[in-house]
Protein backbone atom coordinates (compact mmCIF):
# COMPACT_ATOMS: atom_id res chain seq x y z
CA UNK A 1 0.00 0.00 0.00
CA UNK A 2 1.80 3.03 -1.28
CA UNK A 3 -0.97 5.59 -1.90
CA UNK A 4 -3.46 6.79 0.70
CA UNK A 5 -6.39 9.07 -0.06
CA UNK A 6 -7.75 10.87 3.02
CA UNK A 7 -11.10 12.63 2.79
CA UNK A 8 -11.42 15.71 5.00
CA UNK A 9 -14.70 17.38 5.89
CA UNK A 10 -13.45 19.65 8.70
CA UNK A 11 -15.90 18.14 11.19
CA UNK A 12 -14.88 16.99 14.69
CA UNK A 13 -13.62 13.68 13.24
CA UNK A 14 -11.12 15.39 10.90
CA UNK A 15 -8.26 15.45 13.43
CA UNK A 16 -8.66 11.69 13.97
CA UNK A 17 -8.72 11.08 10.20
CA UNK A 18 -5.50 13.08 9.83
CA UNK A 19 -3.86 11.27 12.75
CA UNK A 20 -4.88 7.84 11.39
CA UNK A 21 -3.67 8.78 7.90
CA UNK A 22 -0.35 10.01 9.28
CA UNK A 23 0.24 6.81 11.28
CA UNK A 24 -0.68 4.56 8.35
CA UNK A 25 1.43 6.54 5.87
CA UNK A 26 4.48 6.52 8.13
CA UNK A 27 4.13 2.79 8.82
CA UNK A 28 3.64 1.94 5.14
CA UNK A 29 5.97 4.52 3.60
CA UNK A 30 2.98 5.78 1.61
CA UNK A 31 2.25 8.96 -0.31
CA UNK A 32 -0.84 10.84 0.84
CA UNK A 33 -3.43 12.82 -1.08
CA UNK A 34 -5.81 14.89 1.04
CA UNK A 35 -9.14 15.80 -0.50
CA UNK A 36 -11.89 18.09 0.69
CA UNK A 37 -15.07 18.24 -1.36
CA UNK A 38 -16.77 21.61 -1.18
CA UNK A 39 -20.41 21.98 -2.18
CA UNK A 40 -21.00 22.97 -5.79
CA UNK A 41 -22.10 26.49 -6.60
CA UNK A 42 -25.86 26.76 -6.05
CA UNK A 43 -28.19 26.81 -9.03
CA UNK A 44 -30.54 29.74 -9.32
CA UNK A 45 -33.53 29.79 -11.60
CA UNK A 46 -33.51 32.96 -13.64
CA UNK A 47 -29.92 33.86 -12.82
CA UNK A 48 -27.00 32.84 -14.97
CA UNK A 49 -24.42 32.54 -12.20
CA UNK A 50 -26.40 33.39 -9.06
CA UNK A 51 -26.62 36.57 -7.03
CA UNK A 52 -23.23 38.13 -6.37
CA UNK A 53 -23.53 37.94 -2.56
CA UNK A 54 -24.08 34.19 -2.70
CA UNK A 55 -21.19 33.75 -5.11
CA UNK A 56 -18.93 35.81 -2.82
CA UNK A 57 -19.91 33.71 0.21
CA UNK A 58 -19.28 30.45 -1.67
CA UNK A 59 -15.90 31.78 -2.85
CA UNK A 60 -14.95 32.78 0.71
CA UNK A 61 -15.91 29.33 2.03
CA UNK A 62 -13.89 27.70 -0.75
CA UNK A 63 -10.82 29.84 0.08
CA UNK A 64 -11.16 28.90 3.77
CA UNK A 65 -11.39 25.20 2.88
CA UNK A 66 -8.22 25.51 0.77
CA UNK A 67 -6.43 27.28 3.63
CA UNK A 68 -7.40 24.54 6.09
CA UNK A 69 -6.47 21.71 3.71
CA UNK A 70 -3.07 23.26 2.97
CA UNK A 71 -2.45 23.80 6.68
CA UNK A 72 -3.00 20.08 7.27
CA UNK A 73 -0.79 19.33 4.24
CA UNK A 74 2.03 21.38 5.81
CA UNK A 75 1.69 19.62 9.17
CA UNK A 76 1.91 16.20 7.52
CA UNK A 77 4.80 17.27 5.30
CA UNK A 78 6.67 18.48 8.40
CA UNK A 79 6.32 14.98 9.85
CA UNK A 80 8.18 13.58 6.85
CA UNK A 81 5.36 12.56 4.54
CA UNK A 82 4.98 13.10 0.81
CA UNK A 83 1.56 14.74 0.71
CA UNK A 84 -0.60 16.91 -1.52
CA UNK A 85 -3.90 18.59 -0.68
CA UNK A 86 -6.73 19.49 -2.99
CA UNK A 87 -10.13 21.08 -2.68
CA UNK A 88 -12.71 20.27 -5.32
CA UNK A 89 -16.39 21.03 -5.73
CA UNK A 90 -19.15 18.50 -6.26
CA UNK A 91 -20.96 15.60 -4.67
CA UNK A 92 -18.62 14.22 -1.96
CA UNK A 93 -18.89 10.46 -2.56
CA UNK A 94 -18.57 10.83 -6.33
CA UNK A 95 -15.52 13.09 -6.07
CA UNK A 96 -13.81 10.90 -3.46
CA UNK A 97 -14.31 7.81 -5.60
CA UNK A 98 -13.17 9.62 -8.77
CA UNK A 99 -9.97 10.86 -7.11
CA UNK A 100 -9.29 7.47 -5.52
CA UNK A 101 -9.31 5.92 -8.99
CA UNK A 102 -7.35 8.77 -10.58
CA UNK A 103 -4.70 8.73 -7.82
CA UNK A 104 -4.52 4.93 -7.84
CA UNK A 105 -5.27 4.86 -4.11
CA UNK A 106 -4.48 1.64 -2.29
CA UNK A 107 -6.52 2.77 0.72
CA UNK A 108 -9.13 5.44 1.46
CA UNK A 109 -9.33 6.95 4.95
CA UNK A 110 -12.45 8.86 5.93
CA UNK A 111 -14.51 9.69 8.97
CA UNK A 112 -17.92 8.63 10.09
CA UNK A 113 -20.25 10.98 11.92
CA UNK A 114 -22.03 8.20 13.77
CA UNK A 115 -25.56 8.92 12.60
CA UNK A 116 -27.97 6.08 13.24
CA UNK A 117 -29.32 3.56 10.78
CA UNK A 118 -32.56 5.51 10.26
CA UNK A 119 -30.60 8.61 9.25
CA UNK A 120 -28.53 6.60 6.77
CA UNK A 121 -31.65 4.94 5.39
CA UNK A 122 -33.43 8.25 4.83
CA UNK A 123 -30.53 10.56 3.99
CA UNK A 124 -27.68 8.26 3.06
CA UNK A 125 -24.08 8.90 3.95
CA UNK A 126 -20.88 9.68 2.15
CA UNK A 127 -19.10 6.94 4.10
CA UNK A 128 -21.65 4.30 3.07
CA UNK A 129 -21.56 5.36 -0.57
CA UNK A 130 -17.76 5.30 -0.67
CA UNK A 131 -17.61 1.90 1.03
CA UNK A 132 -20.08 0.41 -1.47
CA UNK A 133 -18.20 1.58 -4.57
CA UNK A 134 -14.57 1.99 -3.50
CA UNK A 135 -11.89 0.57 -5.79
CA UNK A 136 -9.76 -0.29 -2.73
CA UNK A 137 -10.10 -0.95 1.02
CA UNK A 138 -11.62 1.81 3.16
CA UNK A 139 -10.64 2.71 6.71
CA UNK A 140 -13.51 4.39 8.55
CA UNK A 141 -12.48 6.50 11.52
CA UNK A 142 -15.37 6.80 14.00
CA UNK A 143 -16.51 10.16 15.27
CA UNK A 144 -15.20 11.04 18.73
CA UNK A 145 -18.74 10.72 20.11
CA UNK A 146 -19.38 7.25 18.62
CA UNK A 147 -17.35 5.29 21.15
CA UNK A 148 -18.50 7.18 24.21
CA UNK A 149 -21.16 6.11 26.63
CA UNK A 150 -22.98 8.52 28.86
CA UNK A 151 -23.00 8.26 32.65
CA UNK A 152 -26.62 7.10 32.45
CA UNK A 153 -25.70 4.29 30.01
CA UNK A 154 -22.81 3.20 32.23
CA UNK A 155 -25.06 2.99 35.30
CA UNK A 156 -27.56 0.78 33.48
CA UNK A 157 -24.88 -1.71 32.43
Mean pLDDT of 104-125: 74
Q: Which domains, and CATH codes, for the chain? A: 3-156 (3.40.50.620)
**C-alpha–C-alpha distance, residues 27 and 79, integer Å:** 12
Segment 15-51, tens digit of pLDDT: 999 999 999 999 999 999 999 999 877 665 555 555 6
What is the DSSP secondary structure assignment for residue 122, as one 8-state letter? H
Q: Give the pLDDT of residue 30.
A: 98
pLDDT at 49: 55
Strands 3-8 and 107-112, sheet pairing? parallel
What does each C-alpha distance from 79 to 32, 44, 120, 131 come to in angstroms? 12, 44, 36, 29
Q: Say whether pLDDT at 85 is over 50.
A: yes
| 115-133 pLDDT tens trace | 666 555 544 588 889 999 9
Could you tell me which residue, 66 or 119, shows the higher pLDDT? 66
The structure's pTM equals 0.81
Amino acid sequence: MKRLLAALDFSPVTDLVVQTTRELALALGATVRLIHVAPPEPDFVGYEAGPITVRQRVAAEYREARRRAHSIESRLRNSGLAVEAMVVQGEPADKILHHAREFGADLIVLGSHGHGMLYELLVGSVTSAVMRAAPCPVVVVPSPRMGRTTDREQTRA
